[in-house]
Amino acid sequence: MKRSPLAPDSFPLLAPIKGVGLATVSTGLKYQGRDDLLLMQFDEGTSLAGVFTKSATASAPVLTSRKVAENGTVRAILVNAGNANAFTGALGEATVHACTTALSDVLSIPAEHIATASTGVIGEPLDPDDITGFFHALGDQNGTASWQQAANAIRTTDTFEKGASVTLTISETEIGISGIAKGSGMIAPDMATMLSFIATDAGIAQDKLQAMLSRLTAQSFNAITVDSDTSTSDSVYLAATGQSATLESDEELAQFEAGLREVMISLATQIVRDGEGATKLITIDVSGAADDASAHRIGLAIGNSPLVKTAIAGEDANWGRIVMAVGKAGEPADRDKLAIAIGGVAITHNGQRRDDYDETPVAAHMSGDEIHIEVDVGIKDGRARIWTCDLTHGYITINADYRS
């Protein structure tokens, strides 16, 4: 698979996180010549928060790992790529159980502190024997794999590894937050076949960690859409080892949250940059909506519209399709108050095209690879930012051929 034209030049340098070890191997289960199984290990005392797909047909790993995140303590996360272990019936749960039990034996850690995530084809039974035989090899690595190797091992149709990191100084202690993600198709609100694993060496009470992750997921992974489809397997994990400093005051937590937001938005937009067939990253800013949730839904109506996305693929400044998408969102709006701008150029006024509208600078903006759409609904002060990509022949080619 050719690297996305929107991919960053190289994988960023990720801060090492004290108390976290990574290991990867190749199982040959689906992919040849590349690693496809990741083990993340965490020292004792690590808190875990998780956000999962809302799908009514959630995968076995999601169903079982939700409980691990609820309990809030983690020692390992096991991730395989190539088979989602979704819609595999009671057998699916049995496979997860067999894997966590075997891993518990190899690593001498409690099985109930092991979370799992799987991504790939839906509906194919996953034989635990195809996975468990590699646990000794994973354990023997003593957690020395790099973040890039980890990001590589969880890819399916991803064309590049996704990682992001910040180093913060909070109350005179250096704190790292590093994370990886995968996902390129089936990306939509309420998440998608996207997985993300973020770790910090800060110590944060589990209830605060969970609240922070849920809040920021709404602004990052739940604010991106590639194709409006939602996967059975979406999971975002945040593990806090507590080995640098324990953060307790509101000010410390706010500083941490700002850094975590940066990491999560970077990972989320990297997923959009790897959107199947994407050639343009589209940022949609909605303001003036009835409230923030309404702004979010209007942004998604634009970001999910095949007609808007194909127009952008064709570099056509077809703002009429944005009007259409706002109209179909089912949210409070008033034609005569709607202000639409593309690339900073105001286009509409009083429910029609501005008299002085000049398409030349907008056409120039459309030919770039980052497109900015602003919609002011003009009613109240609800705001949201949504990211999406264009819809191209590449998307069709990938999805008419690949069985995911």
CB of 159 to its own copies, least distance (A): 18
- String of DSSP letters for 70-122: HHTB-SEEEEEEEE---S-HHHHHHHHHHHHHHHHHHHTS-GGGEEEEEEEES
Q: How far is the CB of 313 from its own copies (least distance, A)?
A: 5
Q: Which amino acid is at 277?
A: G
Tokens of 74: 């983690």
Q: Is 391 in the site for its own copies (CB under 8 A)?
A: yes
User: Is residue 228 involved in binding its own copies (CB under 8 A)?
Assistant: yes
Does 91 bind its own copies (CB under 8 A)? Our answer is: yes
Report d(CA 320, CA 138) in Å as an integer: 54
What's the start-to-end Cα distance of the chain, in Å? 15
Q: Does 121 bind its own copies (CB under 8 A)?
A: yes
Query: Hey, which residues between 257 and 316 contact its own copies (CB under 8 A)?
Result: 304-307, 310-311, 313-314, 316
Answer yes or no whether residue 342 interacts with its own copies by CB under 8 A: no
Choices 170-178, 243-251, 262-270, 393-401 (CB under 8 A): range interacting with its own copies: 393-401
Beta strands, E only, 228-310? 235-246, 281-289
- Among the residues of 220-284, which ranges form H helices? 250-273
Active-site residue, selected from the candidate residues 159, 193, 241, 348: 193
Q: How far apart are CA 146 and CA 404, in angstroms?
A: 27
Nearer to its own copies, 60 or 109 (CB): 60
Q: Is 393 in the site for its own copies (CB under 8 A)?
A: yes
**Among the residue ranges 108-116, 206-214, 289-297, 328-336, the one whose residues contact its own copies (CB under 8 A):** 328-336
Residues 133-172 close enough to bind its own copies by CB under 8 A: none
Active site residue 169: no
Query: Please, is 226 exposed, middle or buried when counting C-beta atoms within 10 Å of its C-beta (0-12, 13-18, 19+)?
Result: buried
Question: Which two structure tokens, joined as six digits, stand for 249?
Answer: 């005051």
**Of 9-17, 66-74, 318-326, 381-389, which part binds its own copies (CB under 8 A)?**
318-326
Residues 6+ apart with CB under 8 A from 314: none
DSSP 144: B
Q: 107 vs 188, which CB is nearer to its own copies?
A: 188
Q: Please tell me whether residue 85 binds its own copies under the rule CB under 8 A.
A: no
Check binding of 5 to its own copies (CB under 8 A): no
Report the relative pairing of strands 235-246 and 195-203 from DSSP bridges. parallel
In whole angstroms, the minimum distance from the beta carbon of 347 to its own copies comes to 9
Of the pair 25, 323, the CB lying nearest its own copies is at 323
Q: Which residues are catalytic?
A: 193
